[in-house]
Amino acid sequence: MKIQEVKPLLINRYLFVEITTDTGLKGVGESGAWGFLDASKEAAELFGEYLIGKDPLTIEHHWQYLYRCWHFRGAAIMGALSAVDIALWDIAGQHYGVPVYELLGGKVRNKARVYYHVGGRTNEEVIENLKEAKEEGFHAVGHLSPFLDSTRSEPYFEPYSKKIGDAVDRVYAFREAVGRDVDLCLELHRRLNPAEAISFSKQIEGALPMFLEDPTTPDNFDSTAMIAARTTIPIATGERFNSLQDFAMLMKRDGVAYIRPDVCMVGGITAAKKISALAEAMDVLVVPHSPLSPVSTAACLQIAAVSPSFSMFEYTGDDKPAMSERYGSTSVEQGVRKKDVVTRTFSCKDGFMELPDTPGIGVALAEGAAEKYPYSKRHILTRVSTDGSVIDQ
C-alpha cells in the first residue's frame, strides 16, 4: 500500500488534509492553526511532496522525518504535521479494520467526559446559558469568561479595581446559578499579567473552580509557574503549545495541573499520545483543546479512549457554527454548522460523549464539502486599549 495523493482542503473556517492510498483508503486530518490556515496549507502541500509513494503505515518514521527536517516548527507547520499524522492514523485504522485507539493499546474507558461551552456578553446572558447547560445534563462548563465575551473591535479600559472586582463577583454568581452540581472551568484568554492573575485567583478560591485556564500569556513558563505556586486553584494551559517539550518544561516547573494539548496543533495523535503519557508520569491531567470541527473531536476521542490521565475535553456543539465565527475577528455568518462538513458526529448524553467504534478515527468529510462551503479567511484584529496600545485578549 502506497500513498497516492495528499490533498489540503480549505473548507469554511477549517483546514483539512485528505490522504488517499493506491488501495482506495482515504484518511482525513485537521490543522489547528486557526488564523494561519493559508500558511498551514502550504506546509501540508510541502509535506505531501515527501509522502507521495510512501507506505502510510510507518507513521512514527514519517512524523520524525517531517518534524526534524530543518528543525523549524510553529503553529502553521505543526498544524500541517498534525493533520497529516491524524490522516495517516485514520488510514491505519481502516487498513486493520479497527478504531485508532485499538492500535494505541485499547480503551481504558467506555465514554469521554466533556465540558460544554458557555459564554455571553452580559452577566444575565451567561447565567441563563449556564442554567440551560445544566438542564441539558452537562456537569462541567468551560470557555466561561469572568470578563465576558467582549468583542475585539471595541477599545478597552477599566480601572484595576473594577476589572478584577467585577470578574470576582461574576464567578460567585456563576457558582450560585448552578450550585455544586456543575464544574466551572474558567477561561481568562491570557488577558491578565501575573500579579493580576494571582490577586484574582486568590479572591475566587471560595467558588471552587475546577481550573483557571490561560491566566497569562503562554510565552514565559516561569510566569505561569509563579501563578500556580500562589493559588489553590489548579491552572490549565497548553492550547498554544506545539511541542512535547513545551509541556515537559512547564510540568517540570510545577506550573500546570491540567494540560490542554490540541491534537491538531501538537503533532497529531502521535504527539498527543506521548504528551498524555508524560502527564501521567507527572500526575497531571489531560484536557484536550478541541474547538475545531468534528474531525478534531474524532481525533481527541482516540486520545480520551487510551489515556489514563485524560480528564475531559471541550465540546462546542456540532449544530453551531465555527468558533471563529462565534468569537472571532469578523462578523461573517454563513449558516454553516460544524456537522455539515462531515459525514457523522458523535452523540453526547449526560455530559459524556460516545467513543467511535468504526475503523480509523470514525469520521470523513461530507461529499462536496469544499464546493458547498467555500473557505472564509480569518483576518487579523487585535484589541487595543483606549490609549491605543495593544492588550491581550
Beta strands 285-286 and 258-259, pairing class: parallel
pLDDT digits (tens, 9 = 90+) for 270-309: 999 999 999 999 999 999 999 999 999 999 999 999 999 9
**Average pLDDT, rounded, for the chain:** 95
Boundary of a domain, candidates 77, 99, 121: 99
pLDDT digits (tens, 9 = 90+) for 363-390: 999 999 999 999 999 899 999 999 999 9
Asked if the structure places residue 368 within a domain, the reply is no
**What pLDDT, on a 0 to 100 scale, did the predictor assign at position 296?**
98
CB 103 within 8 A of CB 96: yes
Asked if the structure places residue 388 within a domain, the reply is no
Q: Which structural domain range is residue 70 located in?
A: 3-99
**What pLDDT, on a 0 to 100 scale, did the predictor assign at position 373?**
95
Q: 238 with 316, same domain? A: yes
Asked if the structure places residue 76 within a domain, the reply is yes
Q: 288 with 141, same domain? A: yes
Asked if the structure places residue 145 within a domain, the reply is yes
Q: Which residue has the cell 498534525?
A: 82
**What pLDDT, on a 0 to 100 scale, did the predictor assign at position 150?**
85
For residue 283, with 0-12 CB atoms within 10 Å meaning exposed, 13-18 middle and 19 or more buried, which class applies? exposed
d(CA 352, CA 64): 34
Q: 167 with 312, same domain? A: yes
CA distances from 161 to 164, 199, 258 (A): 6, 11, 29
Q: 81 with 166, same domain? A: no
CA distances from 346 to 265, 293, 294 (A): 22, 12, 8
CB 61 within 8 A of CB 85: no
**What pLDDT, on a 0 to 100 scale, did the predictor assign at position 324?**
61
The CATH number assigned to the domain holding 349 equals: 3.20.20.120
Positions of the chain with pLDDT lower than 50, given as ranges: 328-333
Provide the domain count of the chain: 2
Q: Specify the 3-state DSSP secondary structure of 316.
A: coil
Asked if the structure places residue 302 within a domain, the reply is yes
Tell me if residue 189 is catalytic.
yes
CA distances from 376 to 29, 41, 42 (A): 19, 14, 17
Catalytic, out of 62, 143, 289, 379: 289
**What pLDDT, on a 0 to 100 scale, did the predictor assign at position 335?**
78
Task: Name residue 127's amino acid.
Answer: I
**What pLDDT, on a 0 to 100 scale, did the predictor assign at position 334?**
58
Q: 17 with 135, same domain? A: no
Asked if the structure places residue 380 within a domain, the reply is no
